[in-house]
Structure formats: structure tokens, C-alpha cells
Amino acid sequence: FETMVRHPGEEFVFVVSGAVELHSDIYAPILLEAGDSVYYDAGMGHAFISVSEADAVILNIVAGGSAHSDPES
């Protein structure tokens, strides 16, 4: 990856179908298959790659943080 995604808040991902790998700047990649989920601090660099034959479908919920990059606004 050129850069991983990182943003304020927390993130929950549930794999609806297929399989994905979660890559982060802290942990070794993990394989998530249909029915698996993961919850993490979204400030950690992260990226998902679909690794199943068909495109994976995930439910991604982000909570907390702010849409503004300036904490004073």
C-alpha cells in the first residue's frame, strides 16, 4: 500500500460474504471470512483486501472522532 487509512474513532467490520485480509501498521495481516468480525482503533493504519474469488461484502461501522481535521473547529 502507498498509505494505509487512519482516522479518529473506532471501527467495527463484519464480513457478510467472501473473505478479506486486514492489514495494519501494528499487527500481522489477519484473514476474516464470512461471519467473522473485528473491532479496532481507527487511528491505527489499516487496509482491507478482498481475497475471495468473488468480491467480499463487508459491513463497516465507524464511531467517534470528527469529520474535521482541526480539533478547534
Segment 33-54 shows an average pLDDT of 96
pTM of the model: 0.83
Amino acid at 9: G
Segment 35-53 shows an average pLDDT of 96
CA distance 42 to 23: 12
Q: Is pLDDT of 33 > 70? A: yes
Report which of residues 13 and 68 the model is more confident about.
Answer: 13
Q: What is the pLDDT of residue 73?
A: 44
Average predicted confidence (pLDDT) for the chain: 91
Q: What is the pLDDT of residue 45?
A: 96
